[in-house]
């Protein structure tokens, strides 16, 4: 276990160095999600008070999710492009722990991105940074970060076996924005699609964050701690699925021996 934790730290540290060494990563990881969120927030420019803060918080989650799905999508593509796939698979730790470190760093950048959106959104639209329960807000943000990391890790298993990671990555970004209620309540979705929202961790994460930040916010008919509990259960399920899929995928990938083909 110690060696695997070290692998996660090393992978996260290397991803951080690559991120800062190659400025092109800033565009899809920070600038693109921020612009997309800013456009959404402009739709609420004539609103005031809790409704505008509702949109700003949703915009923060959009930034977090956009960076997470992008990071998980490029976690394997980067190795294919640079010819390091064989060395990565030959490491003395399972592939999941290496990818986990990469996804954790990219999700962390998403949290920073979300924080920047929150600050700029509140200053630009003059909502005022007024968090009803700062401690609960911070805790919900941390739990949502862990949940997004686990969800991105689960998605990364798909990218190991396909060279269409960019297409899948772009296809998942907007549907999750809609399904998780980042800019409007989940209750407004068609009834047949609402169960999809309930199995996505970000849905419960943004609900908990909003209940901690906005006084009197109700949202879904659940309490703050119920949202956190459901989020924790789904996060554990994401990790369990990731462990299972990575084991199967890594064995299949090594048997086929074609992963180096970009």
pLDDT in tens, 168-192: 777 777 788 788 888 778 878 888 8
**Residue 236: pLDDT above 90?**
yes
| In-domain check, residue 47 | yes
Residue 165 binned pLDDT confidence (cut-offs 50, 70, 90): low
| In-domain check, residue 177 | yes
Written as one string, the DSSP assignment of the chain is -HHHHHHHHHHHHHHHHHHHH-GGGHIIIIIHHHHHHHHHHHTTTT--THHHHHHHHHHHHHHHHHHHHHHHHHHHHHHHHHT-HHHHHTSSS-HHHHHHHHHHHHHHHHHHHHHHHHHHHHHHTT-----S-HHHHHHHHHHHHHHHHHHHHHHHHHHHS-S-HHHHHHHHHHHHHHHTTSSS-GGGS-GGGHHHHHTSHHHHHHHHHHHHHSTT---SSS-HHHHHHHHHHHHHHHHHHHHHHHHHHHHHHHHH--TT--
- Structural domain of 59: 2-256
| In-domain check, residue 66 | yes
Which tokens hold the place of 133? 């329960």
| In-domain check, residue 166 | yes
pLDDT digits (tens, 9 = 90+) for 26-80: 776 667 667 776 777 777 767 666 777 787 788 778 777 777 777 776 777 777 7
Radius of gyration of the chain (CA): 19
pLDDT digits (tens, 9 = 90+) for 6-31: 888 888 888 888 877 776 667 766 67
The predicted model scores a pTM of: 0.81
| In-domain check, residue 92 | yes
| In-domain check, residue 262 | no
**Is 144 within 8 Å of 209 (Cβ atoms)?**
yes
| In-domain check, residue 261 | no
pLDDT digits (tens, 9 = 90+) for 106-125: 788 878 877 777 777 677 76
Task: Give how many domains the chain has, as a whole number.
Answer: 1
pLDDT digits (tens, 9 = 90+) for 134-164: 899 999 988 998 888 888 888 877 776 666 6
């Amino acid at each position: 276990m110690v060696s695997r934790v070290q692998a996660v730290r090393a992978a996260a540290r290397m991803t951080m160095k690559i991120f800062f060494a190659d400025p092109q990563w800033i565009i899809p990881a920070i600038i693109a999600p921020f612009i997309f969120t800013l456009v959404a927030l402009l739709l609420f420019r004539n609103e005031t008070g809790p409704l505008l803060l509702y949109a700003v918080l949703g915009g923060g989650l959009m930034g977090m999710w956009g960076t997470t799905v992008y990071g998980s999508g490029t976690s394997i593509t980067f190795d294919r492009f640079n010819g390091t796939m064989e060395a990565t698979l030959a490491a003395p730790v399972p592939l999941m722990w290496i990818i986990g470190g990469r996804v954790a760093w990219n999700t962390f950048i998403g949290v920073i991105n979300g924080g920047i959106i929150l600050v700029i959104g509140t200053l630009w639209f003059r909502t005022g940074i007024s968090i009803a329960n700062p401690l609960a807000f911070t805790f919900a943000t941390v739990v949502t970060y862990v949940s997004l990391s686990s969800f991105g890790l689960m998605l990364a298993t798909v990218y190991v076996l396909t060279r269409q990671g960019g297409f899948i990555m772009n296809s998942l970004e907007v549907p999750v924005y809609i399904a998780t209620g980042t800019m409007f309540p989940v209750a407004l979705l068609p009834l047949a699609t609402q169960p999809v929202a309930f199995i996505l961790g970000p849905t419960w994460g943004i609900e908990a964050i909003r209940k901690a930040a906005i006084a009197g916010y109700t949202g879904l008919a659940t309490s703050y701690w119920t949202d956190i509990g459901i989020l924790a259960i789904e996060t554990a399920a994401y990790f369990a699925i990731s462990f299972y899929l990575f084991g199967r995928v890594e064995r299949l990938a090594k048997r086929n021996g074609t992963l180096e083909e970009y």
